[in-house]
């Protein structure tokens, strides 16, 4: 995936996928809770479009966007969210814990900081096996105060592990403004460890892609971890039950003016020489794609609870 | 008698203790300004000011803050949002809080409470549905409280906050919306079980959401002429073993129902205690718990995974040969 | 048959697996250059280069590194110096490693081993003497191995490293210097108990250091005409319940001896399993464990705290009415 | 305790106490393991001599020095190390876990990082109770990579808690040189959080005392935590079973030339106008004091294991 339209399509798919999830939620077809990625699409698409075969990604509970950007089947993912047997994890994982190794998705991690741990471990494997791959951890701004953050940054740094830490700073940790519980600037933390650190406009997919490409190259070259702080905003609730009262007045509207899809569309037309019509066509294609996906998902079979489940890999003992 | 919602019962206990005792403080992630992800603490910060506050996502620092302040004059109540995150505070609980009183040779106490939302059946998947009680059941010095009924939730939380030991207070997500008799609104002693249904053929001992399942099963079984006594354990550490033994000495049979993987859960502990003490009076003893694998997300898988009233009734019938 | 020291048995298993399989790596605090605080891994780094390495004091990152590398082609063996520090890796074990295979629906496995020095009796006090097995006994997907004999230690560690599941491998500090028959030096399957002494009056099931205590007690009791069968459980998750039930069906009595606080230990689980399956064949069933308080430092207090051969013999005599 | 001779006496007591522990260990009178403080005395004495009534200290497993500097009874402490009933914790705690609230010792913590957690909590209590006290955490260089370090620094910083974090940098974490597993400079970590940070010569008790006094004043004033990096060296093994091979050639000798007792003695005579004889007298007094302590400790009664132990504070339930 390399051209601008592809990046746009990737983002559009995520946005419409999340819209569909939200609608299905309201209809009672998706159960439990979901954490939508809407507004942050440029981060996942910008980073994941720069990966090489064999690279691994650790995504969060807010992982739909990362998964789709990695090429995980949107059908299989939607089926998973609906708990169907045809889901990428057979319905076992649900929204927060999807794993799809074939597409480089090590997992979506429900524990804040878990992605950093997982990616650090993957990078350790790459490093010791002399495998020319990079591991990517996505996580939020609030994660910068969690134990795994500091321990993993240091561990990756001292072993010069090929890992790119992608901090998606959307200003909030659930409903609490991160700045109110965070001392200093997030980017100063990796810097204090001597880790190469860059801050990037997370709503500009081209900027993210460029920053990610450099970061991945640097990490792949063996010079150690790279930290990207990706400034973005979540234009939907944290999860299903979000009270929403925490946003500063006008903030949401301001950020909606910088919606990554809007920005990308504008750039494609104004700078990359595409027609509006071409972009519209993508929208229409994604629309149809999502319709089919939702339809199929709703018709997909449920897993059979009467099937026996082994306790351990490799047999009962 | 007036009714109270489980969620509200928790709120009232916190609110009253904060008002009564200036040493009580409550903190956790998103509990103050937003009122908690399960809307339990809405309005608490407005009422009690800086003694109710939001924290960073720093579970290790939080348990440290709770422990360190508890041994220095506060009575902190810490919320760990989901029970699944409790492993992050285990070091603080095991190696600091629960040891302080004993190791100090009684120089001081460590009165802290950890509130946490636990349990499954709400489609939250493998990492937001677990039952942490068994992870903590071998920690001397720690108490574990696990209410089933709204009135109890309040009375037990009052006692937990007043207790001079670290207490893990488990709130089953499924129960937050449940209403029940408010009771007296007074403190209920920890470590004392309640017979919530009297019966003569079989004792079912359980806790939290499973109490409701056991009561429903008992209703169903009454139709088959099986008369179940149901014991709500209420406290999982220390167990009220005498209450269970007393009951079993009358009924001759004990079924322990637990919402946690079968192997290594607290049901085993209770079965062992009773077997050791009352093997002579026992015609039968067994447990029902979940399978030994992580909690599946998919609704039909999750529904089959947990022990519900039907499963309890079926098991009782089969074990009693009916 | 040749003899081997327990410590050396661990070394050999690590050394052989590192040599056999390039995916095996070993890391932990002070294990490489210094050879480990219990001198178990001396020389290992020299023999296997960068695959054996020292780490910072970052237990959360370590379990992350183990988990992340295990699902990406390595077979990491992580040392957590003392079992008392294992709470710091519990999140990684519970919420990452032990769930991976199931939640991924079998897409991949997570073959990792955590070695840790556990247990008391060496005057290390309340925070360097604990037995972590019970904290982990309710974690589906995890195996727990707990050798008593040097030959077993090697064979079981070989199997643990080759196993496709996360395995907690517990090494009792008191056993490091113990010598015993080397055995074949081959892998010994996990989950299989061993009858280390045959007997007909009573079954004693136990693990690790307590196996040695039980054997000594059995010798003593033989003098009183009480013929004990001693079962070394060897694996604590999953238990070899059939082996214990089989034995108990012959002897009619089961004593489970555990080095951990009595309440909520693994002995309760085993007693419950056996009671549920074999209550008809049981004349008696009970456990011996430590008191429910932290481990005291002072030698006379610590000596009285742990269950030794004398305590086992005395309990058997009293329970059998001799 | 304010004059230079008192500081010297405090350090001398610690040194000779540790020597006595070591000797008793070799005689088999102290069991288990101990982590001696020898070489680092200026840190404990410099910091603790500046505390006010009601301040609290969290010490490590290497805590004999901190305890003695706080005024914990050397007799009670020695009795504890020997597991006697007359020990400050009745023999329950032993070397690594001593608590003496009366003297402000919240505890000695066996878990690396545990002191930072405990002190942060104490400071939270001080802050919410408007109590004009400061909590002090002692910990080592190796602790800077442990989870509690980062989480507690941030927590203390955002709540402006009155806590002084004293990092005793003795270059090693057990047998591993800390620099080999630590990215960047330790002091840059608190600095990245905006925490007031100072590096001080940890073998110069006067320098430590001055830095500590300022740090305590700052923390007490409500302006938030302070971080002191106290550069020192452990001139004995990490613990009983130390192989010792990790030290760089000549390093130990170099540091012994800067032994805090030597430096203090020199300063007392050269700068503070005391006679060598006065200092010698202290040595002699401490010598006699330690002899009595050891004698008493060896004669002290053992605790009675047959006494009942309650499971919980406040009764059985
Ligand atoms: C260890 C842990 N603590 C708390 C939570 C609950 N929780 C889930 S998401 C979240 C906020 C995370 O904020 P951030 O890192 O900024 O990511 P975002 O959700 O904004 O993408 C919290 C507190 C958790 N999942 N894990
Ligand atoms: C969480 C934890 N991990 C490991 C240990 C084992 N351990 C005890 S002391 C020590 C080294 C600590 O180094 P440092 O912080 O520099 O303190 P020092 O001992 O040098 O004073 C280690 C790894 C421990 N006690 N706790
Ligand atoms: Mg965020
Ligand atoms: Mg050090």
Q: pLDDT for D138-192, tens place per residue?
A: 999 999 999 999 999 999 999 999 999 999 999 999 999 999 999 999 999 999 9
Neighbours of D288 (CB within 10 A): 9
> How far is the C-alpha of C261 from the C-alpha of D93, rounded, in Å?
18
Taking a 5 Å cut-off on Cβ, the residues next to ion ligand 3 are A 140-142, 170
**Is the distance from CB of A35 to CB of A95 less than 8 angstroms?**
yes
A2 pLDDT higher than 80: no
Phi (first) and psi of residue D24, to 5 degrees: -65, -35
Least CA distance to A310: which residue of chain C? C102
Judged by phi (left if over 0) then psi (alpha if -120 to 50, else beta), residue D225 lies in beta
Average pLDDT over residues C235-240: 98
Neighbours of D308 (CB within 10 A): 5
The ipTM is: 0.98
**Is the distance from CB of C9 to CB of C180 less than 8 angstroms?**
no
Phi (first) and psi of residue A229, to 5 degrees: -100, 115
B103 pLDDT higher than 70: yes
One of B48, B128, B172, B174 is an active-site residue; which one?
B128
Q: SS3 letters for A1-41?
A: CCCHHHHHHHHHHHHHHHHHHHHHHHCCCCCCCCCCCCCCH
Torsion of CA B37, B39, B42, B45, to 10 degrees: -30
How many contacts does B have with D, using Cβ atoms within 8 A? 151
Phi (first) and psi of residue C75, to 5 degrees: -125, 75
Neighbours of C230 (CB within 10 A): 29
- C40: exposed, middle or buried (C-beta count within 10 Å: 0-12, 13-18, 19+)? buried
- The band of A1, judged by pLDDT with boundaries at 50, 70 and 90, is very low
**Is the distance from CB of B292 to CB of C98 less than 8 angstroms?**
no
**Is the distance from CB of A213 to CB of A6 less than 8 angstroms?**
no
> How far is the C-alpha of C11 from the C-alpha of C50, rounded, in Å?
17
Cα distances (angstroms) measured from residue B104 to each of B66, B99, B296, D99: 18, 8, 44, 5
Give ∠ CA A233-A234-A239 in degrees, rounded to 5. 155
| Three-class DSSP category at C105 | coil
> How far is the C-alpha of C202 from the C-alpha of D60, rounded, in Å?
47
- Pairing state of beta strands A176-177 and A172-173? antiparallel
Identify the DSSP state of B94.
Answer: I
- A280: exposed, middle or buried (C-beta count within 10 Å: 0-12, 13-18, 19+)? exposed
Of C250, C209, C19, C237, the C-alpha closest to C143 is C237
Q: pLDDT for A139-178, tens place per residue?
A: 999 999 999 999 999 999 999 999 999 999 999 999 999 9
Q: pTM for the complete prediction? A: 0.98
Of B174, B185, B180, the C-alpha closest to B118 is B174
- What secondary structure does DSSP assign to A35-104, as a single string? ---TT-HHHHHHHHTT--TT-EEEEESS-HHHHHHTT--HHHHHHHHTT-TTSTTTTSS-TT---BGGGT
Torsion of CA D56, D59, D65, D67, to 10 degrees: 40
* Residues flanking ligand 1, CB < 6 Å: A 62, 110-112, 139-143, 146, 168, 170, 172-174, 178, 238; B 29, 57, 59, 81, 85, 88
Burial C113-152 (b: 16+ CB within 10 A, else e): bbbbbbbbbbbbbbbbbbbbbbbbbbbbbbbbbbbbbbbb
> How far is the C-alpha of B5 from the C-alpha of B182, rounded, in Å?
8
Q: pLDDT for C288-310, tens place per residue?
A: 999 999 999 999 999 999 999 99
C298 to D181: CB separation less than 8 angstroms, yes or no: no
Question: CB-based contact (8 Å) between A288 and chain C?
Answer: no
Burial C59-94 (b: 16+ CB within 10 A, else e): bbbbbbbbbbbbbbebbbbbbbbbbbbbbbbbbbbb
D99 to B189: CB separation less than 8 angstroms, yes or no: no
Say which residues have a Cβ less than 8 Å from residue A60's Cβ, sequence separation at least 6: A35, A66, A108, A109, A112, A114, A115, A138, A139, A140
Identify the DSSP state of D100.
Answer: B
B292 to A94: CB separation less than 8 angstroms, yes or no: no
Neighbours of D121 (CB within 10 A): 37
D69 pLDDT higher than 80: yes
> How far is the C-alpha of C12 from the C-alpha of C154, rounded, in Å?
7
**Is the distance from CB of D120 to CB of B66 less than 8 angstroms?**
no
D245 to C127: CB separation less than 8 angstroms, yes or no: no
Phi (first) and psi of residue B165, to 5 degrees: -115, 160
Long-range contacts of C239-244 (CB under 8 A, 24+ apart): C239/B263, C239/C191, C239/C193, C239/C266, C239/C269, C239/C270, C239/C273, C240/C191, C240/C192, C240/C193, C241/C270, C241/C273, C241/C274, C241/C277, C243/C192, C243/C193, C243/C195, C244/C193, C244/C203, C244/C205, C244/C270, C244/C273, C244/C274
What is the pLDDT at residue C99? 98
Question: CB-based contact (8 Å) between B296 and chain A?
Answer: yes
User: Would you tell me which residues 139-168 of chain A have a C-beta closer than 8 angstroms to some C-beta of chain C?
Assistant: 147-148, 151-152, 154-155, 158
C55 to D181: CB separation less than 8 angstroms, yes or no: yes
Q: How many CA atoms lie within 13 A of D302 on its CB side?
A: 13
What is the pLDDT of chain A when averaged over all its residues? 96
**Is the distance from CB of C286 to CB of C258 less than 8 angstroms?**
no
Neighbours of B170 (CB within 10 A): 23
- Contact residues, chain D to chain A, C-beta under 8 Å: 145-151, 153-155, 157-158, 180-185, 188-189, 191-195
Identify the DSSP state of B97.
Answer: I
What is the pLDDT at residue D2? 56
Judged by phi (left if over 0) then psi (alpha if -120 to 50, else beta), residue D242 lies in beta
Q: pLDDT for D283-307, tens place per residue?
A: 999 999 999 999 999 999 999 999 9
> How far is the C-alpha of D45 from the C-alpha of D261, rounded, in Å?
11
| Three-class DSSP category at D139 | strand
Q: For chain A, what's the residue count?
A: 317
- CA–CA min distance B144, chain C (Å): 12
Q: How many CA atoms lie within 13 A of A4 on its CB side?
A: 20
- The band of A223, judged by pLDDT with boundaries at 50, 70 and 90, is very high
> How far is the C-alpha of B142 from the C-alpha of B90, rounded, in Å?
11
Average pLDDT over residues C275-292: 93
Q: pLDDT for C117-170, tens place per residue?
A: 999 999 999 999 999 999 999 999 999 999 999 999 999 999 999 999 999 999
Say which residues have a Cβ less than 8 Å from residue D175's Cβ, sequence separation at least 6: C30, C33, C34, D238, D242, D243, D245, D246
Burial A281-309 (b: 16+ CB within 10 A, else e): ebeeebeebbeebbeebeebeebeeeeee
Percent of chain B with pLDDT over 70: 100
Q: Tell whether omega for the bond before C238 is within 30 degrees of 0, i.e. cis.
A: yes
Average pLDDT over residues B239-257: 97
> How far is the C-alpha of D231 from the C-alpha of D307, rounded, in Å?
46
Compare CB distances from A157 to D183, D193, D195 and report the shortest one's residue. Answer: D183
One of C48, C128, C174, C212 is an active-site residue; which one?
C128
What is the pLDDT at residue D242? 77
What is the pLDDT at residue C281? 87
What is the pLDDT at residue A316? 53
Higher pLDDT, D242 or C148: C148
A6 pLDDT higher than 70: yes
Q: pLDDT for A60-76, tens place per residue?
A: 999 999 999 999 999 99
Average pLDDT over residues D197-202: 98
Q: pLDDT for C33-89, tens place per residue?
A: 999 999 999 999 999 999 999 999 999 999 999 999 999 999 999 999 999 999 999
| Three-class DSSP category at C116 | strand
C29 pLDDT higher than 50: yes
Does residue C128 have an active-site annotation? yes
| Three-class DSSP category at B168 | strand
- What secondary structure does DSSP assign to A159-181, as a single string? TT--EEEEEEE-SEETTEEGGGG
- The band of D1, judged by pLDDT with boundaries at 50, 70 and 90, is very low
Q: Residue A247, Cα to own-chain centre: how many angstroms?
A: 22
What is the pLDDT at residue B75? 98
């Amino acid at each position: 995936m390399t051209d601008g339209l592809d990046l746009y399509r990737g983002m559009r798919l995520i946005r419409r996928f999340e819209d569909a999830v939200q609608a299905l939620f309201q209809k009672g077809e998706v159960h439990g809770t979901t954490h939508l990625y809407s507004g942050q699409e440029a981060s996942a698409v910008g980073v994941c479009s720069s990966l090489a075969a064999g690279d691994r990604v650790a995504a969060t509970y807010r992982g739909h966007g990362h998964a789709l950007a990695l090429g995980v089947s949107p059908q299989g993912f939607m089926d998973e969210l609906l708990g169907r047997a045809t889901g990428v994890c057979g319905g076992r994982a649900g929204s927060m814990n999807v794993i799809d190794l074939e597409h480089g998705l090590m997992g979506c991690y429900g524990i804040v900081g878990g992605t950093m741990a997982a990616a650090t471990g993957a990078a350790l494997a790459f490093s010791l096996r002399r495998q020319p791959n990079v591991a990517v951890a996505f996580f939020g701004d609030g994660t910068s105060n969690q134990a795994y953050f500091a321990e993993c940054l240091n561990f990756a740094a001292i072993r010069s592990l090929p890992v790119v830490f992608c901090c998606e700073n959307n200003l909030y940790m659930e409903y609490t403004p991160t700045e109110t519980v965070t001392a200093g600037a997030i980017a100063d933390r990796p810097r204090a460890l001597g880790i190469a650190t860059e801050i990037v406009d997370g709503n500009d997919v081209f900027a993210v892609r460029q920053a990610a490409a450099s970061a991945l190259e640097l990490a792949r070259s063996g010079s150690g971890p790279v930290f990207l702080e990706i400034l973005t905003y979540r234009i939907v609730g944290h999860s299903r039950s979000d009270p929403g009262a925490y946003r500063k007045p006008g903030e949401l509207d301001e950020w909606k003016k910088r919606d990554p899809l809007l920005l990308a569309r504008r750039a494609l037309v104004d700078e990359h020489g595409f027609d509006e019509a071409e972009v519209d066509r993508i929208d229409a294609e994604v629309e149809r794609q999502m319709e089919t996906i939702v339809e199929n998902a709703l018709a997909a079979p449920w897993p059979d609870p009467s099937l026996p489940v082994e306790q351990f890999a490799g047999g009962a003992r | 008698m007036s009714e109270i919602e489980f969620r509200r019962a928790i709120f009232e206990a916190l609110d009253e203790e904060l008002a009564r005792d200036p040493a009580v403080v409550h903190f956790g992630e998103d509990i103050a300004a937003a009122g908690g992800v399960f809307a339990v603490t809405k309005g608490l910060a407005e009422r009690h000011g800086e003694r109710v506050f939001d924290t960073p996502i720093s579970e290790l620092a939080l348990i440290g803050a709770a422990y360190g302040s508890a041994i220095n004059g506060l009575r902190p109540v810490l919320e760990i949002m989901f029970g699944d995150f409790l492993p992050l505070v285990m070091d603080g609980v095991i190696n600091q809080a629960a040891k302080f009183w004993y190791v100090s040779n009684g120089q001081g106490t460590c009165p802290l409470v950890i509130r946490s939302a636990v349990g499954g059946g709400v489609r939250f998947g493998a990492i937001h549905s677990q039952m942490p009680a068994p992870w903590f059941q071998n920690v001397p010095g720690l108490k574990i409280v696990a209410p089933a009924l709204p009135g109890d939730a309040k009375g037990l939380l009052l006692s937990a906050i007043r207790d001079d030991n670290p207490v893990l207070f488990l709130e089953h997500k499924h129960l937050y919306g449940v209403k029940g008799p408010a009771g007296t609104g007074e403190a209920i002693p920890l470590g004392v079980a309640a017979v919530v249904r009297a019966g003569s053929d079989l004792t079912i001992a359980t806790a939290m959401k499973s109490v409701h399942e056991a009561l429903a099963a008992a209703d169903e079984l009454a139709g088959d002429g099986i008369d179940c006594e149901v014991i709500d354990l209420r406290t999982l550490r220390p167990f009220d073993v005498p209450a269970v033994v007393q009951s079993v000495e009358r009924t001759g049979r004990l079924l322990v129902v637990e919402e946690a993987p079968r192997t290594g859960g607290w049901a085993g502990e209770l079965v062992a205690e009773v077997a050791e003490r009352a093997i002579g009076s026992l015609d039968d003893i067994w447990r029902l718990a979940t399978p030994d694998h992580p909690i599946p997300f998919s609704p039909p898988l999750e529904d089959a995974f947990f022990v519900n009233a039907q499963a309890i009734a079926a098991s009782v019938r089969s074990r009693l040969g009916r």
